[in-house]
Structure 1
Amino acid sequence: DFVFMEQNKAKVFVNSPNAINGNSQDKNDFSSAKFQSESTGLVDFIGTESEIISGIRELISVLPANNEDDMSYIECTDDLNRLTPELEGRISDPALALNIISDSGYVLEVKKNFAKEMFTGFIRLNGNTVGVVANRRALYDENGEIADEFENVLSHQGSDKAAGFVEFCDAFNIPVLTLVDVKGYKATKCSEKRMPKAGAKLTYAYANATVPKVSLIVGDAYGSASLSMNSKSIGADIVFAWENAKMGMMNASEAVKIIYSKEIDSSEDIKTTLEEKTREYENLQNSAVYAARRGYVDDIITVADTRKRLLAAFEMLFTKKEDRPYKKHGLI
C-alpha cells in the first residue's frame, strides 16, 4: 500500500541507469530515491533508516487494519468547537491549513515529493483518521517562506496521485475530505497526451468510493476540472463553500469576453465596461450564493467555523452505508 525508501543507499529500477542508451548513473540516476519519489510517484516516503522506522510506526498507528476495523480511533483532546479564523491566510498550502483544522495539528502527508500541486495525506478529526485531497498553490519551507508556487490546475500526475489515494481510502473505509481550489487543466503537450484518462480516473475514483465524502470549496471551482474534485455531480455527500469561493463553468473575466463581445467592442470605455460586466457576471453566475441556489453547494460557511462544520459533517456521516449492485469491478 505504501512504499518507504532509504534516501541514500537504496536503489529501485527496471533497467539499470547505465543500461539506458545515452545515459549513465552519474548523469541521471533513475534508480535513486530522489527520482523515484519526485518523478515516478512509486515511493511514498523517503528518509534515513531511523526516519523510515519511525514513519512506519506512525503510519500503522493512523491506518485501520482492514475496512471493518475502527481501532485507529483515538481520544480527541482538542476543542471540537475551536474556531479557525487564521485559516484563510494559510489555505494556499494545504499542509499548513490542515495543521489548523486537524486535531492538535496532526498532519501526515503522503507522496509529498510527487506532483506537489496536489496534496494527499491523513489528518484526525474528533480522533478519527480522515484522508485529505487538496489543490495546492504554494509550498512553504521550515522558515515560513514560499519555497515553490503552483498554478491551481489539474495535471495528469496530480490526478493520478489523488485517484490512487482516494481508492486506498475507500478500500480501508477511511472518510475523504477534499479542499477544492482549481480553475482548469494544465496546458502542456504532455498533459494533452495523458490528462483525458487521468481526469476520468480521478472522477471515477470519487464516484466509485462509498466512504463519507465531504468537499470544501476554498477558492476557485471552474469547469470540468472542478467536477472531478468530489463535486455534487459525482456523489459528494456534503459540499461546503467559503463565502468568497468562486464557482462556474469558467472564469468571469473570460466568460464576459465571449458573452458580451459586441457590447464591449462598441463601448467607448472598453476597460470600464469589461470590469462592470465581470463583476455582474461574478455576482450572478460565479458566486457561492448562486451555486447554493442551484444545489451545487449544501451550505456557505465562514472561515472561522471550518473545523467545527467539517467535524459535524463527518460525525453525521459516520454510519453511512451504501449498497451497490453486485459486479466484479469497475473499469477505467
Structure 2
Amino acid sequence: MKTRPTIPDLASAAGVSVSTVNRVISDAGSVRQPTRERVLEAAQEIGFYGLGTIEHSVRSRRETHRLGVILQARSRVFYRDLGAALEAAARSHPDANVELVIDHLDDLSPDNVAARIRRLGQSCETVAVVSAEHPLVSEAIDEVLAGGTPVCGLIGPLSARGNVGYIGLDNWKVGRTAAWAFHRMCREPGKIGILVGNHRYRNQELNETGFRSYFREHDAGFTVLEPQNTYESAAVARELTEKLFHDHPDLCGLYISGGGVTGALAAAREAKRREDFIGVGYEMIEPTRAALIDGTLAMVIAHPFEPFARQTVATMIKAKLAGPDAGAQRVTLGFDIFTSENI
C-alpha cells in the first residue's frame, strides 16, 4: 500500500530542511515568503496530507490587493462571462491575495459611470473601467488619479488629463483582420454593412478605422457603408440589419463590431442573402457560436477570456505597486479567430 508523504518527503521535494517545513506548518514568522511558496508548491505536487495548513500559512502572509472593475450589465453574456473569468483569475493568482470588486452596470449613463468610478476609487487600490468616452467620465478618472489610485481602460481605451492605462486588444488590427476576411472570402466585391454599439466606445471606432484602412490600401472594389449605431440594443440591431438588407439587396457582407449581436443575427438569418454573403462577428459567446455553425457568420474575432482576465488582474496589481508617478500601464493582447472549423 502506498504510504502518505511525510515531512521529510516534503522537505526533499521542496529542497529545504525538515525544520524549515516545520516552521512553515507552524506559521513561524522567520521563513521568507518565497520559501513558503516553494514548500506549498511541493506539497501540492506530492499530495502532502497537511496541505490545508500550509496553504493557510502561505496565503495569510501574502500581500493583499483590492481591485475594482466596472463592467456592463450582467445580463449581457459577454460581460457575465468576463466577470466570471476575472473572479477565477483573482482566486488563482499565484503570488498574492486578490480582493476583487466587480460592479456590473445596467445604467450606462455618463453620470452613473462617473459616480461608480469615484466610489471604487475610494475603496480600491486600482480601478479598471469599461466605458464610453465622455467628459464626465474623464473628469471622474482624473479625480481618482489625483487621489493616487491608478485607472485603466478595459476593452476600450479611455482618455483623461492624467495617465490612463489600457488592457485590451489592438483594435485597429481587429478591424483590418475583419476586412481581410471579407476581401478573401467574398467571391465578388460588393457593399458591406457595419454595426457598432456606440461611437463613443473608442475600441469600436478604432475597429472601423482599421476596417476602412484595409480597403483603402487594397482598393478591392468593395463599398463600405456608413456604420449603423445599435446603442447596444438587440431590438435596434435587428431593425437596422433588416433595413440594410432591404435598402441594399446586393449586400455582400455584414460586420457586427458592437452590441446587439443577437438581433443582428436573427435578421440576417431571415434575410434573402447573396449566395456568397459573409458575416463577421465580435466575441465568442453562444449566439455567435451558433451563427458560425449555421453559416450566418463566417468568422468571429474574440478576446481570449482566460488570458485576458489573468493579464487584467496582473496589470492592475502592477499599476498599484508601481505607484502614481510610474506612468500608465498599457497591455495589448492578441485576439482569437474562430470559424466553423475550429469551434
TM-score above 0.5: no
Range into which the TM-score falls when normalised by the shorter chain: 0.3 to 0.5
Comparing both structures, which one devotes a greater share of its residues to helix? 2
Q: TM-score, normalised by structure 1?
A: 0.33
Q: TM-score, normalised by structure 2?
A: 0.32
Of the two, which has the highest radius of gyration? 2
